[in-house]
Structure 1
Amino acid sequence: MGKETVEQIDTLVIGGGQAGLATSYWLTKAGVDHLVVDRRDRLGGGWLDRWDEFCLVLPNFTLLLPGMPYDGDDPDGFMVRDDVVKYLSRYASLINAPVRLGTNVTRLAATDGGLVAHADGTTFQTRNVVLATGPYPRPKIPAASEKISGHIQQLHSSDYRRPGQLTDGAVLVVGASQSGAQIAEELHRAGREVHLAVSKCSSAPRRYRGRDLGWWLLQVFQNGAKVGVEMKLPSLAARFAGNPIVSGQGGGHSIDLRQFARDGIRLYGRLESADGTTVRFSDDLVDRLVFAETQFDNQVRRMIEAYIAAAGIDAQPDDRPPRSDSPAPATSTELDLAAADIGSVVWATGYRLDFSWVDLPVFDEWEYPRHTWGVTTHPGLYAVGLPWLHSTGSSVFAGVGADAEHVVEHLVGRREP
């Protein structure tokens, strides 16, 4: 067994995605000696786990990392996966981020006067640590998966890459938030028969009152507080709610679950149990569809309308077509995978936070750090890039920079006598 190397560094940033790199930008500006480590062997963060045809669901103009806002020739387009990865690599190069790849931190603990991180034969002794591992570290797969017959191929959406990767036959996609809905649409477009277990998620129009939905969300995020309109978190549990169903594919479009049904995708309620080749669903598909179809008007539309009024914007009228009054699609509460010729199941069931390697008592019942705007309850320990860390933009390109800046300001303040 080789001898462990000990390195001393003022600040260690764990995670080299957009959150870690944005933090590095501000640390460099502040003159703080630091190192960014990432377990992967290449830059790109969680975007590397997306499927081949993945693209952003927010327009390119929302790519606003500090020091490098989007400067391409397609601001209204939706960047594809590989270009997102290139964007992050270019950003790391531009800001000269001190990144060390292939470095997996397996334990973080307190020590006299600071923190100690263990990673692949190296011990980092540091005054500050910034947790920037993002909201997608550990796929969440329901226990029902263990009851499904072994000859059925199963994979999480983080491992899905393309339709041809799946066993021949029909496909059951479990979960209809952003990933599940887009994967179901892609499989259907590829000619696969698709069955979709519907999550309780909101749908949203791609465009509203003459603008892309992302434009309105960015305006409220950046300027809403100035006119008294802000996005608010209804509850702590809502930090983990699915994002509105919308797509950036083909120049961007809305996703209508009832249209899925009319196109031939078979819809079901929530997958509740499994036994061999039989899976069972909740008997509330209609309620789930109504929820998806009404949440935008109940919440986001009201916020946008309030912002339009408060900011005095002369916006185009709401010209969306009326909500479909088509009858509820045919469904059932039980499905025989074998009889339906289903050869594979894609679990688009989201992710869990995973800070099991952090040996510090700073986490709540959701494994979320106890903090105030990224400053945790343990001195010298910070977090960036988590959903609703401070605002609705905390985990996306448009908002992570502001959180990172605040964290670095606090960190620098600790160094001053």
Structure 2
Amino acid sequence: MLSAEETAPRQASQRIDTLVIGAGQAGLATSYWLSRHGVDHLLLEQRPELGGAWQDRWDSFYLNTPNFAFLLPGPTYDGPEPDAFLPRDEVIDLFRDYAQRIAAPVRLGTEVTRVTEGKGGFADTPGFAVDTNHGSWRARNVVLANGAFQRPRIPPSSATIPAHIRQLHSHDYRNPAQLPDGAVLVVGTGQSGGQITEDLLAAGRQVHLSVSSCPEAPRRYRGQDTFYWILQVNLHGPEHGITGFQVEQLPSPAARFLCNPLISGNDGGHSIHIRELGRRGVRLHGRFEGTDDGVLTFSDDLPARLALVEAGFGQRMGRLADAYIAAAGIDAPPAEPAPADDWLPAGSGARLDLDAEGVTSVIWCTGYGLDFGFLDLPVLDEWNYPRHTRGVTEVPGLYAVGLPWLTRHASATLSLVGADAEYVAGHIAGR
């Protein structure tokens, strides 16, 4: 692997057939297929080391998908525990090993600052001018593979929280020791919010939790890990008439950004139930709405919100898994009914006086937004998402891989990003 210092351009502009922006799982999968097609290419990675966004996870993080789901093209996971879950550092090592095994041409520490139309660098062929912090390039093709975890999202109302309260996004959270003594408010109950709450509880912290609408899910369903059924429906559902996980079935483009089910890979993999967190001492609140004279306010709908969170899996993912099992004729055990649970905390949790409750920190587990600020091309829709068909954008020679719902539900995952990368690489080779 080449560092930016070792490979910094010595001329004003270099030429290459294809530049891939990003060397996470999407970029590496694209590189694999470009190499198979014999396409001259280079991956530009702004980080100083390989490992993608997994390097931004907290110390106790475990991959939420089982090892069998590591399905990047070519060499994949071949360890002794396909049903286990990898800790963060092993995930990073796995990616670095993968990059070496496929001989991916990566230039590290290279941030792309501008992409615009220009000559492709080969006679008068159209293409792109790409500026970086280490020089400029001319390329016939550019692949956007910089991922879905680009810009941490924090609500503007966070600015009204008192200045003495420590605030950070889950992107920057590593462990409880980095926080001042005192209680912690976690905002959001996607996978990050649930897992960080458990991390804080294990350290003996008092935790307040603002509940969002992300669905809970059983870790195992009908004899398999839940992700096994998600993967099968994505891969083989259309063969049996089950198309709910295809992008064409989304109710609106905004649905591409809905959160993933609340599960964890820690402790051998388990479900996370918000009511159970409440029984363990977590103080539950509704959706964060803002501040009122130093007091945080939340939606006063916690009972309905908890019911919505608990029903989400059965209404969509569970139903699709059941339909697939039936259509494919799979002999799977029946679903176990979820135990009735009507526990509710005392009080509505609609207001929180930070000082009175000893809260000294807020962790925003509120997800990420896409960031293509370097693109000087008219290709983004109102959600900042490239307009495309199967990763081929409206601008000839510009492609996208590794975005949520690029072609289906799991397009951005380790399991299925390779299929989209294969299609894009074939399109590039065919130009």
TM-score with structure 1 setting the length = 0.97
Question: Structure 1 pair 308/3, CA: closer, same or farther in 2 (3 Å)?
Answer: closer
Deviation, structure 1 residue 321: 4.0
Superposed CA RMSD = 1.3
AA aligned to 1:120 is N
Deviation, structure 1 residue 323: 3.1
AA aligned to 1:103 is T
Unaligned runs of 5+ in 2: 1-8, 120-125
Deviation, structure 1 residue 277: 3.6
The structure 2 residue matched to 1:316, chosen from 321, 324, 333, is 333
| 1:325 is aligned to 2:338 | no
The aligned counterpart of 2:142 is 129
> Taking every aligned residue pair, what percent have the same amino acid on both sides?
54
The aligned counterpart of 2:384 is 367
AA aligned to 1:156 is H
| 1:56 is aligned to 2:69 | no
| 1:210 is aligned to 2:227 | no
Deviations 1:303-345 (A, max 9, x none): 0111111111111122244231324553321111011001100
| 1:219 is aligned to 2:232 | yes
The structure 2 residue matched to 1:18, chosen from 22, 25, 36, is 25
Deviation, structure 1 residue 144: 1.4
The aligned counterpart of 1:150 is 163
| 1:100 is aligned to 2:103 | no
Matches of 1:367 and 1:329, distance apart in 2: 41
- The answer to whether the 8 A contact 2:189-2:210 is kept is yes
TM-score with structure 2 setting the length = 0.94
- After superposition, where does 1:154-193 map in structure 2 within 5 Å? 154-193=167-206
Matches of 1:240 and 1:329, distance apart in 2: 33
The aligned counterpart of 2:257 is 240
The aligned counterpart of 1:406 is 423
Deviation, structure 1 residue 287: 1.8
Deviation, structure 1 residue 3: 8.4
| 1:78 is aligned to 2:85 | yes
The aligned counterpart of 1:273 is 290
| 1:384 is aligned to 2:420 | no
The structure 1 residue matched to 2:72, chosen from 47, 65, 73, is 65
Question: Structure 1 pair 311/403, CA: closer, same or farther in 2 (3 Å)?
Answer: same
AA aligned to 1:412 is A
Question: Structure 1 pair 226/384, CA: closer, same or farther in 2 (3 Å)?
Answer: same
The aligned counterpart of 2:214 is 201
The aligned counterpart of 2:5 is none
Deviation, structure 1 residue 255: 0.8
- The answer to whether the 8 A contact 2:303-2:344 is kept is no
Which stretch has the larger CA shift, 4-13 or 303-312? 4-13
Unaligned runs of 5+ in 1: none
Deviations 1:95-123 (A, max 9, x none): 00000000000111001311011001410
AA aligned to 2:41 is H
Deviations 1:16-64 (A, max 9, x none): 0000000000000000000001000000111110001111111110000
The aligned counterpart of 1:355 is 372
SS at match of 2:129: strand
Matches of 1:70 and 1:217, distance apart in 2: 19
- The answer to whether the 8 A contact 2:168-2:363 is kept is yes
Matches of 2:430 and 2:340, distance apart in 1: 53
Deviations 1:154-175 (A, max 9, x none): 1000000001111100000011
The aligned counterpart of 1:39 is 46
SS at match of 2:35: helix
Matches of 2:129 and 2:300, distance apart in 1: 51
